[in-house]
């Protein structure tokens, strides 16, 4: 029975790893698709978003002077484009963290003598590897833009992307810690109930 239960758990984890790997690769493909756009197509895509943002945050935009309109539009464009970079890699960071968490390669294992801190050490290592992976992909993505028309790689974009990946990994880490704590507390309550029930039964038997 134990062997069958263990096999089921392993199979479920295997399916989760495959699903998360597909999501990671799929999202990387989405990022690659956006970065493959030439300068004109990229500007057109972000331009539509910029117009909607301006309409929301600055309803009286058309009443501004021409130079003020240009300045305001450039500011909004900057934040929209960089915000898109940050958000793309924040989502990638979440997916990478969850993938590495489920995959559990040997690099995340810790010595048994540190068993008390095994979860903390493991989560730190997962966060670091997930962040490094996201940062490496960001750098390769910027390098790829060298071969895209009217676009050029920028170190600033790599830093923004890396920050987004770090935040995404951190959010996933916090969520995982909260889930683990909730699970541990639930197990502790169940254990306490079993111990209490065992003591009660033992006491009642002694009275008899």
The secondary structure of 50-86, three-state, reads HHHHHHHHCCCHHHCCHHHHHHHHHHHHHHHHHHHHH
Domain that holds residue 87: 2-207
3-class DSSP assignment, residue 152: coil
pTM of the predicted protein model: 0.78
Q: What is the pLDDT of residue 102?
A: 85
Checking if the pLDDT of 109 tops 90, the result is no
Measured CA to CA in angstroms, residue 105 lies from 6, 48, 113, 161, 176 at distances of 18, 43, 19, 25, 18
3-class DSSP assignment, residue 128: helix
Tens-place pLDDT, residues 121-172: 788 888 999 999 999 999 998 887 777 766 677 888 899 999 999 999 999 9
The tokens for 198 are 């065992």
Instruction: Specify the range with the lowest mean pLDDT, choosing from 26-30, 55-59, 125-129.
Output: 55-59
Checking if the pLDDT of 112 tops 50, the result is no
Angle at 84 between CA 155 and CA 101, to 5 degrees: 85
- More confident call, 46 vs 139: 139
Q: How confident is the model at residue 201 (pLDDT cuts 50, 70, 90)?
A: low
Using only C-alpha atoms, the chain has a radius of gyration, in whole angstroms, of: 25
Count of domains observed in the chain: 1
Q: What is the pLDDT of residue 19?
A: 94
- More confident call, 86 vs 118: 86
């Amino acid at each position: 029975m134990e062997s069958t239960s263990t096999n089921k758990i392993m199979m479920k984890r295997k399916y989760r790893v495959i699903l998360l790997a597909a999501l990671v690769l799929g999202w990387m493909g989405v990022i690659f698709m956006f970065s493959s756009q030439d300068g004109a197509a990229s500007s057109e895509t972000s331009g539509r978003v910029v117009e909607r943002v301006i309409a929301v945050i600055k309803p009286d935009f058309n009443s501004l002077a021409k130079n003020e309109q240009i300045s305001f539009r450039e500011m909004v464009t900057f934040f929209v484009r960089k915000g898109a970079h940050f958000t793309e890699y924040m989502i990638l960071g979440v997916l990478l963290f969850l993938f590495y968490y489920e995959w559990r390669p040997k690099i995340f294992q810790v010595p048994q003598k540190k068993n008390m801190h095994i979860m903390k050490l493991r989560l730190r290592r997962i966060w670091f590897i997930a962040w490094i992976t996201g940062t490496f992909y960001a750098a390769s993505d910027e390098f790829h833009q060298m071969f895209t028309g009217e676009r050029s790689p920028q170190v600033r974009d790599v830093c923004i992307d890396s920050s987004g990946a770090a935040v995404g990994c951190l959010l996933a880490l916090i969520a995982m810690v909260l889930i683990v704590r909730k699970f541990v507390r639930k197990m502790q309550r169940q254990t306490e109930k079993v111990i209490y029930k065992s003591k009660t039964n033992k006491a009642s038997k002694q009275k008899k």
